[in-house]
Amino acid sequence: METVETRLNMYSLLSRLLLQEVDEDTLEFLRNSKDTATLFPNLHKWDLWNKLENKELANKHLNVDFTDISLLHLIPYETFYIRDDQMVETGGANPVTNYYHEYGFKVEFATARVVSPDHIGVELEFMSKLVSAQVEALKSDDKDSSDNLLRVQAEFMEKHIINWVALYLINVKYEARTPFYHDLAETTLAFLLEDTEYLINSNGK
C-alpha cells in the first residue's frame, strides 16, 4: 500500500507542475515538503529560491520559464511525437480518449488550458486517477479491481507515455532557464522510467 500511495503522490505532483504555472500555495507546499530536496536537488543552490517571496518568484521567474517551455518553444502533446506529420490530434480521434471515456476521466480543457487530451500533464493526471482508484480498491480488499487497475496503468504507460515522453522531457531540461524546471524534467523522467519497470514487474511481464 505504501508504494502505491507514494506513486499516487508523485503522479499528482508531477501532473500539477507540468500542466499549469505554479502559484504561491504550490511553492509554499514545496518549501515545506521534506521530499523537495530530493526531487529538486538544485533548488537550494538557486539564489532566487532562497531570496524571493513566493509571489515574486512565481510571477517573475518560474511562470515565465513555464510559458517559454510549454507554450512557446516546446510541444507537450503525445501525438506531435508519434504522428509522421507531427500534427497534434485535437479531436475525438486522439488515441487517449478511449481510455479516458472508459474510466470516467474528463479533461477540463478551459481550466487546464490545453488544446488536446494527450498533453503530458493530462496523461499523468489520468495515471494519478487510476492509481487513486487502485488505492481505494486495496483499502476495500478488492484484489481483482486492484489487479485490473494495475494492468490498465501498465498498458497506458506503454502505449501513451513512455513511448514519447523522454524526447519531450530531455528538451525541457535543456530549454529550462530555472533550476526548478530543469530538475522537474529530470525527476519526472527518472520517475516514469522507474515506474515503467515497476508496472512491468507487477504485471508479471
**Looking at the domain 2-28+47-202, which fold is it?**
TorD-like (1.10.3480)
Q: Which residues, in sequence order, are CB contacts of 52 under 8 Å at separation 6+? A: 60, 61
Where does the pLDDT of residue 204 fall: very low under 50, low under 70, confident under 90, or very high at 90 and above? low
Backbone angles phi, psi at 77, to 5 degrees: -120, 135
> What integer pLDDT is reported at residue 109 of this predicted model?
83
- Number of neighbours of residue 182 by Cβ within 10 angstroms: 21
Contact 112, 20 (CB under 8 A): yes
3-class SS of residue 77: strand
Residue 101: C-alpha distances to residues 28, 42, 182 (Å): 34, 39, 33
CA distance 200 to 62: 35
Cell of 99: 481510455
Please state the pTM of the whole predicted model.
Answer: 0.95
Q: What is the pLDDT of residues 24-35, one digit of tens each?
A: 999 999 999 999
> What integer pLDDT is reported at residue 1 of this predicted model?
79
Length reported for the chain: 205
- Number of neighbours of residue 181 by Cβ within 10 angstroms: 23
CA distance 161 to 196: 10
Question: Would you list the domain boundaries of the chain?
Answer: 2-28+47-202
Q: At which residue does the C-alpha cell 485535437 appear?
A: 90
Q: What is the pLDDT of residues 15-24, one digit of tens each?
A: 999 999 999 9
Contact 164, 82 (CB under 8 A): yes
